[in-house]
Chain A
């Protein structure tokens, strides 16, 4: 027994030092656990530079990534009126309010026209942050208008899906939007205008069973969850665990449901090439013949609003 005892003080982390690193400067990749500098991540379009994990991005970033520069947004004010006065554990109106405040959007989609490698396109991107990017009457109307706008102005259509399917809170009104959008796509098809469907994580339910699967070309981002029934519903039906990779982009590619699985960083170039293929008969002064000749702006060098 020692006469003197050394009292050990626990090492306390200096409280002020930790707070000197601002929030959100670093991001940990959920796939490879690499710590990433946020600016680097943004520069690589939110794809992990180490393992190519695709982070989910919002609709505005999607537009910024695909358009050459500025774009014109359409029907931004369309918003749901809660037609069924739906109320589950909390009122649907409150859910709408929360989503509107969180995303700054009135609905789960942005529709815009602008140029992609010089070709003017009608583009719609679903916003997952708005009630899971679900399809309701307003979203269906906005997509339909985007398609009809393309028909009017002879533009190709690109729809970027990121959605949990039809929105339950608007019941069969949501369901029927699948028919409405598909009918508009039938007209686009008969008018021989290109439609490119981009499927991102996740694309499920009524969105997959309508416009997401109807592209002249269906392109998906790697490892995106794409399917009709949810994995849990299928597990309940077959009463066994689903195999690894089931309902992922690569699985769908293997089963013949997708044309391409493309890294986000190459997405725009690929779409540009396919548009050139689809729009060749219509090439006019408005659209350069060689779309690849147009330099591709990086997200940082987006030209100012005209």
Chain B
């Protein structure tokens, strides 16, 4: 059980400390009862806290160092995973993993951002900031899936595309843009699970799908709240307000018609129970895959187009005041 607690989980921390202190004492029936009741109380409090998270607190949960990541899900949901490396153009980007695997015995392609957990891993994965070659690798592996009519499962968890010099030199914008265009035309089913941070174009660059699912405490945003606060409020410390204003939570995204469904998480977030979290993702994926696989290619592509085509129109993000006018 991971022990890193977030600031707002302080009440749970107090109880956990008590439990720890009690477990030092000699084992008695009395001690077991106290520990049990403390555990139940901690669980209750955790449930209460997580039922009332503010958007900024959700950002912290989505970025939690122990939150299950792409490779954690690959390990638990898929078998026979063979990682496929490199974009065949420049390099292998470690911030995006891609490969072939079996899901319920059927071959699929799995792709996802990987942030890394300890310092060494984080540096190796560039903290999940993908470079152009990551997006190009992802598309290459997707085309591999497309060629052999295998579905694609994508996990999204990135702060952003890497904002560095080499990213610009090698055309990170072009890499993302090209993926957006080509993914809309891939014939095979594409299922996207936003499992952590959906960081702007860096996320969207591999997140075009027939079903875009979002875990309960994941976030999806056009800009990180800190960046938004720095630009609009001219003060990065207003991130809490920015997180609120940007409508980045899963319920907000669903209400705006920008995702298809929310995948519930176990009490206290996915990082508290990997297996339960995985089971819930599994359930949602299976259902989505069944629905999407049944369609003909033409239907699937039309529905995928229509889905993104409607974004912004259904939530009434604009009005059409007048019709065409001639002018010059």
Chains A and B are bound partners: yes
Q: Which residues of A contact B (CB under 8 A)?
A: 63-64, 67, 69-81, 83-84, 86-89, 106-107, 114, 136-138, 140-141, 144, 166, 168-180, 182-187, 189-190, 205-206, 208-214, 227-229, 233-234, 237-238, 242, 246-247, 255-257, 302, 305
Q: Which residues of A contact B48 (CB under 8 A)?
A: none
Chain B residues 149 to 202 lying within 8 A of chain A, measured CB to CB, are 161-165, 167-174, 176-178, 180-182, 184-185, 200-201
Evaluate whether A233 and B163 lie within 8 angstroms (CB atoms) in the complex, with A173-B256, A255-B170 already known.
yes
4 smallest beta-carbon distances between A and B, as pairs = A137-B312, A137-B317, A77-B321, A229-B163
24 contacts between A and B (CB under 8 A): A71-B328, A74-B324, A79-B318, A81-B316, A84-B246, A137-B318, A138-B317, A166-B200, A168-B222, A168-B246, A171-B245, A172-B220, A172-B221, A174-B222, A178-B180, A178-B201, A178-B204, A179-B308, A186-B181, A209-B180, A210-B177, A213-B171, A213-B178, A229-B167
Of residues 234 through 275 on chain B, the ones whose CB sits less than 8 Å from some CB of chain A are 234, 241-242, 245-248, 253, 256, 258
Whether B220 lies near A78 (C-beta < 8 A) is: no
Asked if A72 and B326 sit within 8 Å, CB to CB, the answer is yes
* Interface flag for B21 (CB, 8 Å): no
Given contacts A84-B247, A172-B248, A178-B204, 19 further A-B contacts (CB under 8 A): A79-B319, A81-B318, A138-B318, A168-B223, A171-B222, A172-B246, A172-B256, A176-B312, A179-B180, A183-B304, A186-B181, A209-B161, A213-B178, A234-B164, A237-B162, A237-B164, A246-B168, A247-B168, A305-B328
Tell me whether A173 and B312 are in contact in the complex, defined as CB-CB below 8 angstroms, given that A83-B256, A238-B164, A246-B165 are known contacts: yes
Known contacts A144-B309, A238-B165; is-contact A173 B317 (Cβ 8 Å): yes
Contacts of B52 in A (CB 8 A): none
Contact of B185 among A81, A190, A205 (CB under 8 A): A190
B231 is an interface residue with CB less than 8 A from chain A: yes
Query: Complex formed: what's the CA distance from A25 to B242 in Å?
Result: 43
Report the minimum CB–CB distance from A206 to chain B (whole Å): 6
Cα(A101)–Cα(B233), bound, Å: 23
Q: Which interface class (under 10, 10 to 19, 20 to 34, 35 or more) fits B?
A: 35 or more
Q: Are B324 and A72 in contact (CB under 8 A)?
A: yes
- Given known contacts A168-B246, A171-B247, A186-B184, is B320 in contact with A213 (CB within 8 Å)? no
Instruction: Kindly list chain A residues whose C-beta atoms are within 8 Å of the C-beta of B253.
Output: 172
- Of chain A, the residue at the smallest CB distance from B232 is A88
B164, B177, B320: which contacts A77 (Cβ < 8 A)? Answer: B320
Looking at the assembled complex, report how far the CB atom of B85 sits from the nearest CB atom of chain A, in whole angstroms.
23
Bound complex: CA of A6 vs CA of B328, how far in Å? Answer: 65
For the residues of B in contact with A, the DSSP-based class is mixed
Flag whether B327 is at the interface (Cβ < 8 A): yes
State the B residues within 8 Å of A (CB): 161-165, 167-174, 176-178, 180-182, 184-185, 200-201, 204-205, 208, 220-223, 227-228, 231-234, 241-242, 245-248, 253, 256, 258, 304-305, 308-309, 311-313, 315-328
Kindly provide the distance from the CB of A25 to the nearest chain B CB, expressed in whole angstroms: 26
CA distance A77 to B323 in the complex (A): 7
Q: Across the interface, do A227 and B168 meet the contact criterion of CB distance under 8 Å?
A: yes
- B227 contact set on A, CB distance < 8 A: 233
A233 contacts across to B, CB distance below 8 A: 163, 227
Does A183 lie within 8 Å of B164, measured CB to CB? no
Nearest residue, chain B, Cβ from A189: B181
CB distance from A79 to the nearest CB of B (A): 6
Give Cα distance in the complex from A213 to B258, angstroms.
24
Q: Name the residue of chain B whose CB is nearest to the CB of A71.
A: B328
Contact of A213 with B173 in the complex, beta carbons under 8 Å: yes
